[in-house]
Structure 1
């Protein structure tokens, strides 16, 4: 194995993911990607049986978000994060809802988890950023393949071109995807979610006191962006309902987001790892990252 294969580099500064992944709008896209991942019976069973998303949702979310940021902005730490994730998934196995044995690192399962990010980013950007050009979509897919290498996904396990991706994606939607138990929980508006346990003590205490009031609208908003920012064909494959009125509301929300976020100062627009990576890139004397 050559050095490039053993230590794959993350996508380069100035690319599509460099701008998109660390932008706070990416936070709105992640629930749709996660829900599409766990709609696969094997992935859903693995999360259902082995994840702490019910007992520690905020901690799991924080760890997942940091991991995602490292794939793109981590430099030499990106490959180590990929190796850490593979070690973490070595013992995750069981039986899915169709009675089939599964292992988290089975190539088809592991690749699907990664693959979902591309159609969700491509679709959600239409609402929250701007529709991508064909060239941008191709660049995004090429960068997503590079992230896959960081995660230890072999080239043979992912469609090598965007033209080959869509038939693969539609085949998985047609043959595998379903409304798993985890999907139903992620889009529920009446589930029990503990108050946030991260951040300053005063804020945590305040949120704990107000959580009975905050939780219902928070759950409705989470379900709204989860279902709305999921590609329509994936939404249909899972069986998630989406009305014309909801579509109009999402478009209005998107217009507000597109107007507000680009004028925010960098400390508010970008997540911490992204801000630091952008700062280092500027200090290195390289071209200014694309915005």
Structure 2
């Protein structure tokens, strides 16, 4: 008589369930770079790369409030990003929250193709744009990462993908295979979508929140044009050259020299600022907490 299958025991589900992703901690590359205030210069470039994919661009065009509440959207996105790296156990819940949020985002892009925000290829592309932008921000605004740091950063981005619910099989496994994937995406998928053109339009109207101080609201018509031009200049410059070319963006040798001079000023100026201004709020709090914990541990020894 053949053996009959046995009913699963109470421990079987635990053995088959994948382990919970590990939150980030001091000593990781992302811990050092993701909360640096210089990332504020780099994040718009990652957004442009993301929305240059027609499906992602259509999702933002159809469902985002980036036109009606640009400051609120930017604040919420930045808060979420900081939680991924510095939130500890909160990072895991934030990853689950984002997946719940994106379950309802679907529609049709301007090519007539259906999209869903959690389609693995689209969801992975949004995450994958972080790698080249981190590298280029480090090169221009901080210091270039060496080969070992580049590999560590990529491994950590795969770990971050675990937190966000991005399957490993949907991401290139190594930096070397990443660049093959990136080149294919740029050549075969990316285009100057409606959202790309809006984000890179220096005349796009951006109003301040109502709670802004009255003097700032008064000066905003004078401040906005040069700030918009600077933002677009840095955003364009931090895009990988192949993506710039694909999107039809001009970039001259003079532009390159100007960006490198700008980066040199940022590198020299930032160390002069107090620590609380060099790091974004969650990063600053996490760094201080980690420093205090290390001090207590050394004292106990």
* TM-score, L = length of structure 2: 0.90
| Structure 2 SS opposite 1:169 | helix
Find the counterpart in structure 2 of residue 90 from structure 1: 103
| Matching residue within 177, 181, 190 for 2:194 | 181
Alpha-carbon distance in 2 for matches of 1:271, 1:30: 13
Are 1:231 and 2:240 counterparts?
yes
Of the candidates 278, 282, 287, which is equivalent to residue 287 of structure 2? 278
- Of 2-11 and 146-155, more deviation after overlay is shown by 2-11
Matches within 5 A, 1:215-254: 215-254=224-263
> For the residues of structure 2 that align with 1:207 and 1:134, how far apart are their CA atoms?
44
CA distance in 1, matches of 2:14, 2:250: 48
Could you give the per-residue CA deviations for residues 67-111 of structure 1, whole angstroms, max 9, x where no partner exists? 000010000000100010011100100111221100000000000
Provide the C-alpha distance between the structure 2 equivalents of 1:5 and 1:125, rounded to a whole number of angstroms: 34
Q: CA shift at 1:204, angstroms?
A: 2.5
Task: Kindly provide the CA deviation profile for residues 14-44 of structure 1, in whole angstroms up to 9, marking residues without a partner as x.
Answer: 2111111111001100000001000000000
Corresponding residue for residue 73 of structure 1: 86
Question: Could you tell me how far 1:141 is from its partner in structure 2?
Answer: 0.4
TM-score normalized with structure 1 length: 0.93
Q: Distance in 1 between matches of 2:86 and 2:276?
A: 16
Q: 1:214 aligns to what?
A: 223
Verify the 8 A CA contact 1:9 1:78 in the aligned structure 2: no
State the shift of 1:264 in Å: 2.1
Deviation at 1:206, TM superposition (A): 1.6
**Highest Rg: 1 or 2?**
2
Task: Report the equivalent of 1:138.
Answer: 151
Partner of residue 21, structure 1: 34
Cα deviations by residue, 1:208-256 (Å, 9 ceiling, x for unpaired): 1111111111110111111011111111122211122111110100001
Distance 1:238 1:40 in 2: 11
> Which has the larger displacement, 161-170 or 76-85?
161-170
CA distance in 2, matches of 1:10, 1:143: 10
CA change 1:62–1:2 in 2 (3 A) is farther
CA distance in 2, matches of 1:39, 1:255: 29
Find the aligned partners of 2:159 and 2:38 in 1 and give their Cα distance: 22
Quote the offset at 1:6 in angstroms.
Answer: 5.3
Conservation of the 8 A alpha-carbon contact between 2:106 and 2:114: yes
Task: Give 1:266's match in structure 2, choosing from 265, 275, 280.
Answer: 275
Equivalenced residue count is 284
- How many angstroms does 1:123 deviate by? 1.4
Q: Distance in 2 between matches of 1:255 and 1:179?
A: 30
Q: Is the 8 A contact 1:196 1:204 kept in 2?
A: no
CA distance in 2 between partners of 1:11 and 1:234 (Å): 30
Aligned partners of 2:103 and 2:118 also within 8 Å: yes
Judged with a 3 Å threshold, the aligned counterparts in structure 2 of structure 1 residues 2 and 256 are, in CA distance, closer, same or farther, namely farther
Is this contact kept in 2: 1:124–1:230, CA < 8 A?
A: no
